[in-house]
Structures are given as C-alpha cells and as structure tokens.
Structure 1
Amino acid sequence: MTLSANPAAQAQSRVAGTTAADQTILEMNQAFKKGNSKRLSELLPQMRDHTLEPWAAYWELRARLDTASPAEIQYFLNRFAGTYQEDRLRNDWLLLLGQRQEWGTFMAEYPNFRMNDDRSVQCYALLTDFKSSERDVVQQVEDLWLAQRDADDGCAAAADQQLKARKLQPQTVWLRARQGFENDNLRIATQAVGLLNAEWANTVSAIYTRPEHYLEGKLLALRLRTKELVTLAMIRLAVKDPAAAAVEIDKLRWKTQLSQEERSWVWGVIGKRAAMRLSDDALAYFMKGQDKFMQADQLAWKVRAALRAGNWAQVVAATSAMSESQRQDAAWVYWRARALLKLAKTQADHVEPQRLLQSIAGVRGFYEQLALEELGQRVTVPAAPAALTAEEKDAARLDPGLGRSLYAIQIGLRSEGVREWNYSVNMHQRGGMNDRELLAAADLACQHEVWDRCINTSERTKSVIDFAQRFPMPHKDAVLQRSSEIGLDAAYVYGLIRQESRFIVDARSGVGAAGLMQVMPATARWTAKKIGLVNFKPQQLSERDTNIAIGTGYLKLVLDNFDGSMPMAAAAYNAGPGRPRSWRGQAGAPTLEAAIWAENVPFTETRDYVKKVLSNTTSYAALISGQPQSLKSRLGLIGPRGAGAAPVDSDLP
C-alpha cells in the first residue's frame, strides 16, 4: 500500500528520525516561508506518494496562487479532496476571487468551503448573495464587520455595498471607528470612516495623533459627523490619559452637546483604561455613564473595578447590562452569584445565586472550581469514562488527517501538524467528533506523547471527563524528585508546566523561552548561579533535567519572594516579578481575595495564565493525592507587602 493511500498507517509505523524524503519536505517548508516558488516547483516531484505530499503540493501552489490557472487549482482540489490542505487552499482562493471580484467563480466554489470560518470570505459571500438576489443580509454583514479584529477587504466591501444601498446606517460605521480608536487600531477607524467620505479619513488620522488639539477647536457639536469626530477624539484621549479625558468630558459644553449614548461610551473607555491601570477612580468613572450604552469589554472591566472596590451592587448592575451570551461566561456567572449572595437579605434571595453557581459548578476550570467550593464541595477526580474499545482506537489510528498530523509533528512541522489535527477533530464527518471519538483521538496523541494534542482534544469532551488525559504527568519521576528536593508542591509544578509548554520538551516561544518550563536564557543564567549549577550554557535548556532544575529553581525563588503566594508567583513567572509587585498595591491598598486580584490583572495573557495555573494545580493535587482539594486555599489573600515579610530579591529577573 502506498503512503498516500494510507498515511495514517504509515505515520504509526515511523521510527524516530527523518528520511531523505522528510528532509526534502522540511526544505520545502523553508522555501515556502521564504516565498521561493521556483525551489518549491523543483522539489515537488520528489514528494509523490509521501505521507505529507498534500502539504508539499499546497505550499507549491499557494506560493504562486496569483498566477495559477483555474485548471491547476481544480486539479489540486480534486486530487486532495477531503484533506485540510484542500480546504485551506480553497480558503486562500476564495479570498483572492473576492479581491478580484470574480463573483461567478466565487459562488460556484463557496458552497464547497467546509471550514467556513473566515469572516472575510463570509462577507464576500453575503456581498455576492445581495448582488444577485437583494436578500436582506445587512444584519449579518454588520455582525461580521463589527466582530473583525482588524481591517479587512471582504467585510469592508460588504459594508460599503450595504451602505450605498441604504441598508447599513452611518451610525454603524461610526461604531466601527470607535472600536478602532478604543483598541488602538487606527486602520480600522480610517477604513470605516473612509466609506462615508474618503477625505474624512485624514481628519480621523489627525485626531488619532493629537486628540487634544482637535477638541480645543470645537465649540459646537451639532452635526452627526462633528459629534462623532468629537467622540473619537474623546476616546483617543481616554486611551492615552484617562484622567485628562475625564476632565474634558465633564465640561458643560460636552454635557449639553453630546448624547447620553456618546458620553456613556466615552466614560466606558475612561473607566476601562483607568481600571487597567488599577486606579481607585475607575469605578466612579464608569458610574458617570449608563451601563446600557457600554460595550462588552467595558462592562467586563466595570465588574473588575467594582470587585476591587467591594461594590457588589455595581457588580450586579454591570452583569445585568451584559448581553445574554456574555452573561453566560463562567466568570460573570460566578461573580454575579457572589454579588447576589452578598446583597441577599432573606433566604429567598439565595435561590437565584445558588442556581447560578450550580449551573457552572464542576472541575473543568477556575470559576467552575470556585463555584463548586461556594456550594460546599471540593475538587475531586471525576469517575473515568468507560475504557475505549479496540474499534474506537482503530478508528482514530487509521484517520488520515490525524496520521498526517502526527507525522508532521514528529519531523518538526509542529505548526502544520497542529492545524491539521484541529481540522480533523473539528470537521470529522462534517459534524465534529463526538465525545468517544475525541477520547480516542486524545488517546492516540497521548500514546505518541504529543501531549498538547492529547490535552486539548480531551478538553473538548462535553458529557465525560478523562482526568488522566487532561492532566497527564510525563517525566513523573524527574518532576516529583526535583520538587521534593527543593520543597515545591509537585502539583504546582505540573500545573505550571501544563500551561507553559503542554509538556513539549523542545518548545520554544517567539521571544526565546525554551523547554518544558519555558525559561528565558537570561533568567536561566541568573538562576543557574543562584542554585549552584556550574558551567551552565543556555543551549542546555533543551535538556529535560536541566530545564526542570532551572525552571523549578526559579519558581521556588519567586514563590519565596512573594511570601508563598501561588497566584503572585505564577504572575511573576509569566510577566516578570516587577509587575505583580506593583499590582499588589502600595501601603494602604486593600487586601483582596486572590480571585479578585487575579481577575484584575491588567494583562489578558497573564490574567488567563494565573487562573489556569492555579486551576491546573488543584486538579493535579487531586490526582496525586487522591484526596479532595481546595482551590480557594491555594489562592488566599493578596494585599500590600507586610512589614514583617521576607526581603525582596531586587535582582530577581
């Protein structure tokens, strides 16, 4: 049987190391990254019947897609039908067809796009649909356009079409521009306003650069355009200097000339930016606007500011103003329930918060575990699902996409392998894998020690939980021995490694962090000296035992520096020790539940990291000990550094 006929079986039987053909595929990957289409075309014939031939063919054609003939593209789509690479190229081709306005070919091919997860492609489809049938698509276009995180051609073109047809209102264009300014993305704003008038985009750029200058010259704000430009200037000023924006928006002329909606949005941005700076004024700023006019991210930050201030009534108010979908997020379910309990005056008042807590309580994540504890329970290992059958395992083992993914990862094409794995899981028989299929796929990844796919796939199950898959313990002897030697909780070490690298020994971040514990070279050199590791060289971070020794050594030093606070040590490990020192506040700052402190961490990545590491730690502790565990006891309280605390290691990197 040829490799192309059964790539899954071939992937399973590979021995360690790469063949000459594997080296060629790796060379093609580099040529693709460099845009060397000539070299790709030269090497492609050598990849015939190789397991990863679909990747080789994709790179070769994608590199010259602008000049490829429709016949070449159709040949590729037919030859590799059903693969990730086929659908990936279709996505690329549909974007190109949309940009070229080749609508007939676009609409003929669009129904075959299985992923259909590209908003630009979806917008091109709506644009074409409206052009041919005048079907009412304005709400879909608006939703897609406002959800785009950057400026794009597809949704902007669809919005422009709907605007000219007088279906899309100018107010939506200004909302898009506000989003751009609030998120510090000038291109979003100029592209949006340019749909109304190309010359206005220059004014928007000038406002972005000097909002104060624009506001100084405005005495009247009666027309929609002027009012919206003033609002943009206020938003930009709020991003740069929330306190200055608060003074400006409070002036009498803006109170009379801007609407409640416009002023509330500005106050939302001021409050959000102040809250991100952990300012005590943040909640007061939010309360000068009306919640019903604030956006999702503004309301989230209002909840955080209210938690810091201990104002539970405002937590309820902000969560009440959220959309139904946002309010269902476990974080806001939990804090709303906590706020309602704090404000409860009768036993009847406990019914709703108890219902909310019960709706999320479980072992799946940070707030689910906290809800479980609020209901008087602890985190325990759930019963394992029924063992996988031989047939279930064989189905995963023989899945072509999963097989190609494992092969790619094993020869060093991790990014490509991960993308194909995710596609195979999501698109399995077009409906995604069911829980049993997910468990079997996760088991396959575990057997090949591809721990990130093992964990991430197992986490997708809905009705069952396999803790052994979700919280594997590779390198167990090394981790337990080292943790014991230096007095670290092994569950904490595992919780951190799981979040840092998903147990990928050769993991390397874009900024140079390396190995299981993702240690930066400079931090490694400093730590090596502190723990007495002589003759250390940064390249040793790729060695498992050295990486564990330095990573745990640094974690212990950080933990001791933060008086044993696991949340603060996790934040320091992720963002550096200086930031959590400032986030804990100065003398006189309130002492907070660590869950409130963590929710108010200004960096999204670090906020998510701290919560996941502590949740992971609690789950690993339940696995290792076999006993019920408390997340709350690991969180504790966080406040200003006490007078009797251990001295700060000022050179801690």
Structure 2
Amino acid sequence: MIKGLWAGVALALATLSAVVHGDPGDERILAAREALRTGDRGTLEQLDRERGSHPLDPYVQYWLLSNKLVRPDPAPIIELTEFLLQDPDSLLAERLRADWLRRTVRDEDWSGFLRLYADLREPDAELRCHYRTARLNLGDTEVLAETRAQWMELTDSHVACEPVLRALATGGAVGADELWWRFRRQIETRSFAAARSTLAWLAAGEMPKLARLDHAVKSPEAYLDRLPANFAATRPGRELALTALVNLARQDDPRAAQVRFQRISDRLDHGERAYVHAILGHYGALARLPQASEWYRAAGDVAMSSEQRAWRVRAALRVEDWRMVESSIEALPAAEQARPEWIYWLGRARAALGRGDEAAALYRRIAGEPHFYGLLAAEEGGELFSAPTGNGAVTAGDTARAAADPGLQRALALYRLDLRTEAAREWNWALRGQDEGFLVAAARLALNHELFDRAINTAERTDARANFDLRYITPYRPLIEPQVHERGLDIGWVYGLMRQESRFSAPARSSSGAQGLMQVMPATGKWVAGKIGLPNYHPGMLTDPNTNVLLGTSYMRLILDGLDNHPVLASAGYNAGPSRARRWRDQRSLEGAIYAETIPFDETRDYVKKVMSNAVIYAAMLEGRPQSLKQRLGTIAPRPVEDQ
C-alpha cells in the first residue's frame, strides 16, 4: 500500500513537472489570449479547433464562448451547455455561467436566468441583484418582502438592484422617512448618482429641485450662507441643508460646518440636530479634533452607520475617555462587538475603570490569536509572543492530492505563462472546501515553485496557530539581510513590511503603479535614488529585486530618521506619506496602539497594525526569543508646534 501511494506521488509530480517546465502548446494559449484581447473571433475559432492535451485547453474554448456571448448573434446554447457539463465545478464553468447569466439579462430571458443561477456557486453583487429582478419579473412577490427587510443594508447596492428597490418605493412599501435616510447615507458615501435616483422615488410634491441638490453638494458653504429664510418649512429644504452640512464637514474643517449648523439648528427638529451631531462627531474624529466626543454625545442614540459607530469609539479612545469607550462599544450591534479590536478595547476600558476580572475575561477570548489584538490581549495577561515550534504535517497522500489537482495544475501553467490574474483566480478556486492536509500541501507546493504570495495566502486558510513556517516565510534572505544591516534597520520590521506590501511577489504591481517586493512608486524611487546617489535611475529598475530592496530599505531609513525613529510612524509614513504620519500625531503623547487605531485612512490603519504584528512574529522567529508588541508600539511623541 505504501509503495503504491508513493508511486502515485511520483506520477503526480511527473505530471506537475511537465506543467511547470513548459509545454509545446504554450504559444497557442498565448495567441488565443491575444485574440481574445483584440476580439479576433476567427483566430480563436481556429485555435480552438487545434485542441490537444495542454492543461489550459479549456481556456481557449472558454475565451471563444465568452467572445460569442457578447456578440449580437443568438447565444450558442448547445456549445455552452456542453462546456458546462465537461467540468461543472471548475472555475471556468463558474465564469461561463456568470457570462451567460449577464447575456440572459441583456436578452431579458428571466426564466433562463433563474435556471442558470441555481448552479452558480459564488454570485457577485450584480448577479445577486439581477436574481431579485428576475424573480420580480416572473411574479415572485416574496422577493419584495425579502428586500424590504434588507432596505437599509442595500443603501450601497449595485445599480442592478434598482428595479426591485424602485418597485418597493413607488409601491408604497417604503415610506418617505426611509427614503430620506437612504438618501442621507448615499450622500455620506458620495454616491451622488444613487442619491439622485432615490429622490426620484419620492412623491412628486416631496422632491427637491435637482439643481439645488447639485449646489448643496458642490458649493456647500455658499449654499448654507444663502439659505432662504423659509428653507425649514419643507422636508426637502431641511434635507438639502443637511446635505450641505455633510459635504462641508467632509470637505473642510468640521468646525466650519458647526458654525453654520449653529445658525440654523433652532429651525431643525431634534432628530435632524442629532443627525448633524453624529456627522460632526464622525468627521471631527477623522480630523482628530478633541470636541469630536462631545459632538457624538450630543448625537445621543440617533441611527448611525457602522463607520460612524466605529469612529465614536475611536473619538473616545483618542482622548482616553474610557467610560465613553465602554458605552460606545456596548452600543454596537452584536456582530460588531464581536470583532477583535472592540473586544480588546472594551477590555482596556474595563481595566481602566477598575474592573480587572471582566477585562481579563475579554482578553482571554482573543489572546494567542496571531493578529494585532490577539498579541496585545496576550500581553495584558503577561504573555509575550513566542513563535510556535514544529510545522504542519503533510502526508504523502496530501502531497499527491495537491500535485494532481487539475485546478492547481492549471494555475501553475498560467503562472508559467505570466497570466497572473487568471492564475491567482484558478489557485484560489481550487482551495475552496479543501481540508487542512490539502491546504498545507498546496501551500508547500506554492513555496516549492517560489509562488510566495500563494504560499502565504494558502497557509492563512489553515489553523491560525500553526504553519508559521508557511505563513511567515523569509525568502530573498541573501539579498535582503545585507541591505537591512547596512541601513541599521530591524530585520523583523523590514520583513513585516515587505510581507504586507507584496507578499514577496517580485512581479507585483499595484493599480497606482507601485512595483516589486517593496512596492516602490516610480517617483519615490527617483527621489530615493537621488538621496543615496544611485546613478542612472529609471523606473524600469524597480523590477529588479536587488534594486527594489535597495530603494525600499533606503526609503524606510529616510522615513524613520524623519519620524522620531519610531516604527509605527514610519510604517504609516511608508504607506500614506511621511507628512500625513506627522499630522496624525496629537498635541500630547499618545499610546502607540491608540495612534494606530485612530489613523483616519482605513487602508493605512489596517496596514500599520499588520506590519507591526508581522514584525513581532518575524522577530520571534528570527531571534528565537519572546517579543513584545506593546514595546514596539511604544508612545508617540506630541506633534511639534510647526505641524499643528
């Protein structure tokens, strides 16, 4: 039995070797991909007829069928059905169903849509909305009741949901007050086109003039300064004044909005005043204004978005008002209270209020989990982070299953052809529903092929407290360590930042143009090259790992020198720019964890937390001794007068 098992492993690995090291049909696959890009249906048809045994043959057929679906000709039903029957659980079958579903929407074939939709595994937001519309158009009125129950959750829904939402609004199932609340949330999220659509669902006598809406959005200060004396006589008049206040608070210092609010507050009702106070509290907290907590208090129990609720906690944290931290977290819905950050900060609040036993119970809920708050919670209980010993066991059977998996084989072939987007999709699809053994084997397979980002992402699907050798890999050490030591940087911090930036994918390129292992922007690379005297710099040099690490680590050193030699500030500066990291300090000393929690950019806030927790884990693994996250976070010095 053992001999047969290893024979299976050998066969799987031999097949895999052919996938990875090349195939005579590679040129045909690339030619088909180019024909799809240019819309050359004739070439696609010819290449599809040449089908052989290449692992990516299904892609040529899929590309041809997707090309046919977007054309005005009748959909090729027989060909589509045959393709779906070949491998109904594959990624390409899922993508073709989605393409075909969009075609049935275009053709208004709602019965056909429902038949296909039943087999779709992971519908996106657009198709979920079309599903509602299909049911409505076929007389299923239950969809109206279901959508009515989710009315406020669908404030930012895809435009494809509009037919069902409109039917609710114009049919009287939703009242004017709910329409106005939907409008408010859309204004807050700058979804102005959606807000205009919502207004169109109001009764004719309640609709404001759209020209006045545009004025309130584009020139809120001028709009408020020229409000007619009788603006508050109607609901539309008051709502447009609120719209202007929201936009002024977002675009400018919230204090400018407060001044104008005070002028008109006596003409607004209690609920409208509470709403404005929540808006002021939110934008005041983002601007790190000390009065943000007072504005939030004045808002009382007015309905708030999840973002506003979160910033109510952060506003209280910034001024270390632990009673308000506690009450604000306790006011969160249960699902939000269960998030690690609020469990931790509720524990901190209760400890500060003298209820240590309650705090300790909260810490125990997340202590030991390898994330920012799990590490902090463990430290509150006196436990520093130590890297777990031992690696996840992989059996010969697990290795054979991963090596022979058709989805992973297609992904590796796609990576070989540098079709990285398709490859990542194929890889992730192959992991769906897999057991721990398969996932660990797949992560090791990725690592063996130097697909470092796939190795990490796959390992993160496994037991959170195991497989640290796969979660926190240290590739490129001969390249990285000498440059880190030369610049006097902490190796754990550099690896922690690089892991967050690119997950060690040298070809990585962001939508904004950042490139390589350290995601260096071309302009930043040019500036750093000038600072360190790197001759003949040009953006193409960023694709070279050695140069990329040279520029990235040099930039880290320059930022660190300019930001109090503090890794929290420097991490924020690396992501959002040093000037922002400076401005986000307070007029007094601030605990590093509170600084991180109150960073106003969602991306940067998440980034800093992950970089700092990564740094602790890497340091524990590389140095072989326990590490303190709290010590690394330290204290952020007050903002200098010139930066205030």
Q: TM-score, normalised by structure 2?
A: 0.89
Distance 1:390 1:22, change over 3 A: same
Distance 1:376 1:536, change over 3 A: same
2:219 and 2:177 mapped to 1: Cα distance? Answer: 24
- 2:85 alignment partner in structure 1: 78
1:463 and 1:485 mapped to 2: Cα distance? Answer: 34
- 2:334 alignment partner in structure 1: 324
Backbone CA RMSD of aligned residues: 2.9
Distance 1:22 1:299, change over 3 A: same
1:582 and 1:548 mapped to 2: Cα distance? Answer: 28
- 1:366 Cα offset (Å): 0.9
- 1:255 Cα offset (Å): 4.4
Whether contact under 8 Å (1:47, 1:53) holds in the other structure is yes
Whether contact under 8 Å (1:10, 1:51) holds in the other structure is no
1:148 and 1:70 mapped to 2: Cα distance? Answer: 36
1:147 and 1:462 mapped to 2: Cα distance? Answer: 34
1:441 counterpart = 2:442: yes
Distance 1:352 1:99, change over 3 A: farther
- 1:438 Cα offset (Å): 2.2
Whether contact under 8 Å (1:191, 1:201) holds in the other structure is no
Whether contact under 8 Å (1:126, 1:158) holds in the other structure is yes
- 1:509 alignment partner in structure 2: 510
1:492 and 1:275 mapped to 2: Cα distance? Answer: 29
1:245 counterpart = 2:257: yes
Q: 2:217 aligns with which of 203, 208, 229?
A: 208
2:329 and 2:347 mapped to 1: Cα distance? Answer: 10
| Farther off after superposition, 24-33 or 325-334 | 24-33
String of CA shifts for 1:6-26, please: whole Å, max 9, x gaps: 99975543354x656334433
Q: How does 1:641-652 map to 2 (within 5 A)?
A: none
- 1:383 Cα offset (Å): 4.1
Whether contact under 8 Å (1:380, 1:627) holds in the other structure is yes
Distance 1:61 1:229, change over 3 A: farther
Distance 1:8 1:342, change over 3 A: same
| Farther off after superposition, 477-486 or 26-35 | 26-35
1:635 counterpart = 2:633: yes
1:513 and 1:281 mapped to 2: Cα distance? Answer: 37
1:565 and 1:243 mapped to 2: Cα distance? Answer: 31
Q: How does 1:28-107 map to 2 (within 5 A)?
A: 28-35=32-39, 37=41, 39-46=43-50, 48-66=52-70, 67=72, 68-107=75-114
User: What is the letter of the counterpart of residue 623 of structure 1?
Assistant: M
Distance 1:622 1:170, change over 3 A: same
String of CA shifts for 1:370-413, please: whole Å, max 9, x gaps: 11111111111124355110111211221111221222122211
| Farther off after superposition, 235-244 or 513-522 | 235-244
Distance 1:48 1:207, change over 3 A: farther
Whether contact under 8 Å (1:11, 1:407) holds in the other structure is no
- 2:614 alignment partner in structure 1: 616
String of CA shifts for 1:288-318, please: whole Å, max 9, x gaps: 2124522210111122221111211221122
- 1:637 Cα offset (Å): 1.0
- 1:82 Cα offset (Å): 1.7
Q: How does 1:117-128 map to 2 (within 5 A)?
A: 118-128=124-134
- 1:498 alignment partner in structure 2: 499
1:306 counterpart = 2:316: yes
| Farther off after superposition, 138-147 or 330-339 | 138-147
Whether contact under 8 Å (1:435, 1:463) holds in the other structure is no
> 3-state SS of the aligned residue for 1:112?
coil
> 3-state SS of the aligned residue for 2:298?
coil
Q: How does 1:253-268 map to 2 (within 5 A)?
A: 254-255=265-266, 257-260=268-271, 262-268=272-278
Whether contact under 8 Å (1:362, 1:368) holds in the other structure is yes
Distance 1:596 1:30, change over 3 A: farther
Q: 1:13 aligns with which of 13, 18, 31?
A: 18
- 1:79 Cα offset (Å): 3.4
Q: How does 1:169-318 map to 2 (within 5 A)?
A: 169-196=175-202, 202=210, 204-212=213-221, 216-217=227-228, 219=230, 221=232, 225-241=236-252, 242-251=254-263, 254-255=265-266, 257-260=268-271, 262-318=272-328
1:136 and 1:245 mapped to 2: Cα distance? Answer: 41
> 3-state SS of the aligned residue for 1:14?
helix
Whether contact under 8 Å (2:208, 2:236) holds in the other structure is no
> 3-state SS of the aligned residue for 2:299?
coil
1:19 and 1:218 mapped to 2: Cα distance? Answer: 77
- 1:494 Cα offset (Å): 0.7
1:264 and 1:313 mapped to 2: Cα distance? Answer: 21
1:542 and 1:165 mapped to 2: Cα distance? Answer: 58
1:157 and 1:328 mapped to 2: Cα distance? Answer: 35
- 1:280 Cα offset (Å): 2.9
- 1:186 Cα offset (Å): 0.8
- 1:364 alignment partner in structure 2: 370
- 1:29 Cα offset (Å): 3.3
Q: 1:352 aligns with which of 351, 354, 358?
A: 358
User: What is the letter of the counterpart of residue 275 of structure 2?
Assistant: W
Instruction: Count residues in correspondence.
Output: 623
1:336 counterpart = 2:346: yes
- 1:479 Cα offset (Å): 1.9
Whether contact under 8 Å (1:119, 1:148) holds in the other structure is no
> 3-state SS of the aligned residue for 2:599?
coil
2:39 and 2:561 mapped to 1: Cα distance? Answer: 49
1:146 counterpart = 2:158: no
- 1:616 Cα offset (Å): 0.5
1:318 and 1:29 mapped to 2: Cα distance? Answer: 53
- 2:527 alignment partner in structure 1: 526
- 1:181 Cα offset (Å): 0.9
Q: State the identity as a percent.
A: 36
- 1:285 Cα offset (Å): 2.2
1:542 and 1:489 mapped to 2: Cα distance? Answer: 24
Distance 1:136 1:77, change over 3 A: closer
Structure 1 moving runs of 4+ over 6 Å: 6-9
Whether contact under 8 Å (2:186, 2:192) holds in the other structure is yes
- 1:205 Cα offset (Å): 3.9
Structure 2 gaps of 5+ residues are 1-10
Whether contact under 8 Å (1:237, 1:244) holds in the other structure is yes
- 1:577 alignment partner in structure 2: 578
Distance 1:291 1:96, change over 3 A: farther
Whether contact under 8 Å (2:392, 2:467) holds in the other structure is no
- 1:175 Cα offset (Å): 2.9
- 1:57 Cα offset (Å): 2.8
> 3-state SS of the aligned residue for 1:376?
coil
- 1:597 Cα offset (Å): 0.9
Q: 2:141 aligns with which of 134, 145, 153?
A: 134
- 1:139 Cα offset (Å): 4.1
- 1:78 Cα offset (Å): 2.5
2:583 and 2:476 mapped to 1: Cα distance? Answer: 35
- 1:651 alignment partner in structure 2: none
Distance 1:42 1:279, change over 3 A: farther
2:633 and 2:589 mapped to 1: Cα distance? Answer: 13
Structure 1 gaps of 5+ residues are 1-5, 427-431, 649-653
Whether contact under 8 Å (2:13, 2:400) holds in the other structure is no
1:115 and 1:109 mapped to 2: Cα distance? Answer: 13
User: What is the letter of the counterpart of residue 234 of structure 1?
Assistant: L
